[in-house]
Structure 1
Amino acid sequence: MIRNFILQHKIFFITVLSLLLVKVIWVAWSCWGNGSFDKEKNDLLQRKNFLVSKIMVEPRKLLSEMPSGIGLQFQGEWALYSCSMQTEALSNLAGLYPETKEESITTIDSLIQIVKSSELRLYDKLRWGEDPLESLDGEDSHVSYLSHLAWMIGNYRRIGGNTKYNQLHDSICETMNRRILKSPILNIPTYPDEPVYVPDMMVAIVALSDYSALNNGKYSSTVTGWINRAKSEWIDAKTGLLVSFLDNNGQIEAPIKGSYSALNCYYLTKIDSTFAKEQYERLKTHFCQSLPASGIKEYHDRTCWLGMDIDAGPIILNLSPSGTAFAIGSATYFSDTIFRKSLLRTAEIAGHTIKWNDKRNYLLGDIALVGEAITLAMRTNVRKR
């Protein structure tokens, strides 16, 4: 019996070591080209093909791709984010690989149509009690839905799309600008009776910044005013990072989250590169973890070996899946190659790439499609020169 016991344990030990060895080899092979956009080209374009096949569907089908357990509101939000981040990725790819530009314009056009659909607008309509596109003359915020749609239209126009959405773009940005300026704290809530989620506001500021670049500086004063107040009023005293939440009086609410901070840093690369760089370095100082895997922690002031957060995802060994993915965006923008490679290795360890025909995706992409879209947008966030 003792010999059998020892033999069984040896077999188990050898099996585990073999699986680990296979995983190490797989990760090394999957990540070998990271760091060069020439070498990453096939990988990125094949991931784009996967996302197009999954997102470019009827709105109801897209919503059904979102996990049912997260509820109607988050299904809507995740579908919206999937479309907006896919749009951002396509715009980035058109810059990296100009031969993809015409295809990107056509695909973004279709993505805008999906986001404009009544099915995608429903989650926001239910929370506010009115349709976001049918109430542009009203006073309620709708900032999350409207800002993502405006950001998508801005991308469409910037890479050469026609004028078909110009009027809608004008109306949405005028509405957001008016509602933001009417607020004493220069911030408006995502939903009624909830705090201001700063990353949601950041999308509105990015969208207005994009609009300004396309329209001779219109609304640039709002963008500049918001950034100036952010630098002076909305900074966490312990970390120096832009806060994650504000109450309706503009007071800072705890906690500072790694996922939100990494997302804030990414959006800042679209508006103020100097401020973005400062925030990125602070993010690495307070939230970066190297062992046992490289990435962004969800909490800078406590340990969480295993947890769950609707925004961060499953927290394992302190690491925030969303925070780690969003940090790739800043690492790409600032050409922080070593850190970017380490983040992509972590993504590969956790996600495990699968490939067939001309498509490639992380295995987890079939469960959390939004994560796949986010990661592609972050990997292609190259600084425009």
Structure 2
Amino acid sequence: MSLLIAAAVWLPCLHLFFRREPAEHRPSGALSPRGRALLAHQLSLWEDAAAKEATLARMRATNAEWDFMGRTFLVLGLANAALRDPAAEARHLAVMDRVIDETLALERERGMLHFMMPYAAGRPFVQQPARSLFVDGEIALMLGARALVARRADHEAELDARVAEMRARMERSPVLSAESYPDECWTFCNTLALGAMRMSDALRGERRGLELGRRWLAVARARLVDPKTGLLVSSYTHGGRILDGPEGSSLWLVAHALLLIDPDFARDQYARARRELGAELVGFGWAREWPRSWSGPQDVDSGPIVPVVGASAGSSGLALLGAAAFGDAPYLGALLTSLDLAAFPIREGDRLRHAASNQVGDAALLHALSSGPLWQRIAAAGGAP
């Protein structure tokens, strides 16, 4: 009985030992102290070739996608950081160029499969010649983000080519979606591809990406929404047959990307995800991978699932981006409190990383805490949706 009483007294107070800084996410201006420390670590990693290679090799031993996505999140975070702090732009651009140029070189030398899971080679893609929207879309996103900070002609030519290819492939699908893996389309990848097209809109003074995005969303509302929750499903075939229902490791980022297409629908998806997947208790926050009405298999996207509460590492990590993007400060604070408890922060001088995470996780957190300026620039220059 005494243990129960002690638990009842202390558990609600536990979060107080992990007090966070106020205003962890700021729509504009300087990054928070946490954001600056994450940025410092990511910069130091890519400015030290040996450390970078060792870090990426460890991730690739588990999942080659993490290497690739870590690059994307880092470039997005650096673009936001550069727009927030013009005095640091030159350093941020230098690292962005290093990431992008190395990524393009690896794709040329080793092919798209270098950044994909092994099953990508298991059967043919529906559309030929084979290309992955996962790879094309995130490379285009990196190129577009860099150009929106400072123009670079060769990068923009590559962006134009990727956007044209993605648009053509999406137009050939009954559901306006291109494959990431053979006969697998992912809302995650298709909405990021649309985000890259909106970057192209902003650079070219066009609205073609916005127009395709609106048509994609009309199809998605009709064919790719889970009827029980109203949430977008996560994966489906080239022809539109649903494979996996709503998943947190996709939804939070999808909602963030859809702010560039239809902010009202994006906010609705965030609110539904918050209700179906988000959870808080005594100051701690987390996110489930699946709504209670649907459950999929634990995999590299979901990450480990904590029994009883159903907390997913993948969903909780990207929920940080959702909470920041949609101004949900209480939930963001609760998620960060859990992060400080469970991810074992390591501070080395002015740098911050997490022992229980990896480069892609820390880069995604940097993108979350720095988000805002890049999306604002796209909306302003590319025609507000």
TM range (shorter): 0.7 to 0.9
Q: Could you say which residue in structure 1 is the equivalent of 2:32?
A: 41
Q: Could you say which residue in structure 2 is the equivalent of 1:377?
A: 367
Q: Could you say which residue in structure 2 is the equivalent of 1:27?
A: 18
Q: What is the deviation of 1:84?
A: 0.5
Q: Could you say which residue in structure 2 is the equivalent of 1:106?
A: 94
Report % sequence identity: 20
Instruction: Verify: 1:349 aligned to 2:341, yes or no.
Output: yes
Change (3 A) 1:124 1:375: closer
Q: Decide which moves more: 37-46 or 94-103.
A: 37-46
Q: 1: distance between equivalents of 2:225 and 2:145?
A: 29
Structure 1: stretches of 5+ with no match in the other structure: 1-9, 130-136
| Counterpart contact for 1:141–1:179, Cα < 8 Å | no
| Counterpart contact for 2:175–2:216, Cα < 8 Å | no
Q: What is the deviation of 1:128?
A: 6.1
Q: What is the deviation of 1:186?
A: 1.1
Q: What is the deviation of 1:224?
A: 2.2
1:232-251 matches, cutoff 5 A: 232-251=222-241
Q: Could you say which residue in structure 2 is the equivalent of 1:63?
A: 56
Q: 2: distance between equivalents of 1:61 and 1:168?
A: 29
Give the aligned length. Answer: 355
Q: 1: distance between equivalents of 2:187 and 2:111?
A: 22
| 2:186 equivalent among 197, 202, 212 | 197
1:162-311 matches, cutoff 5 A: 162-192=152-182, 194-217=183-206, 219-220=208-209, 221-291=211-281, 293-301=284-292, 308-311=298-301
| Counterpart contact for 1:48–1:376, Cα < 8 Å | yes
Q: 2: distance between equivalents of 1:47 and 1:64?
A: 20
| Counterpart contact for 1:55–1:82, Cα < 8 Å | no
Q: Could you say which residue in structure 2 is the equivalent of 1:326?
A: 318
Q: Could you say which residue in structure 1 is the equivalent of 2:132?
A: 142
1:84 alignment partner AA: T
Q: What is the deviation of 1:139?
A: 3.5
2:186 alignment partner AA: Y
Change (3 A) 1:60 1:35: closer
2:32 alignment partner AA: K
| 2:356 equivalent among 364, 372, 377 | 364
Q: What is the deviation of 1:38?
A: 6.8
What secondary structure does 1:361 align onto?
strand
* Structure-2-length-normalised TM-score: 0.81
Change (3 A) 1:120 1:45: farther
1:344 alignment partner AA: L
Q: Could you say which residue in structure 1 is the equivalent of 2:124?
A: none
Bigger radius of gyration: 1
What secondary structure does 1:81 align onto?
helix
| Counterpart contact for 1:296–1:320, Cα < 8 Å | yes
Q: What is the deviation of 1:310?
A: 0.8
| 1:161 equivalent among 126, 151, 156 | 151
Structure 2: stretches of 5+ with no match in the other structure: 122-126, 381-385
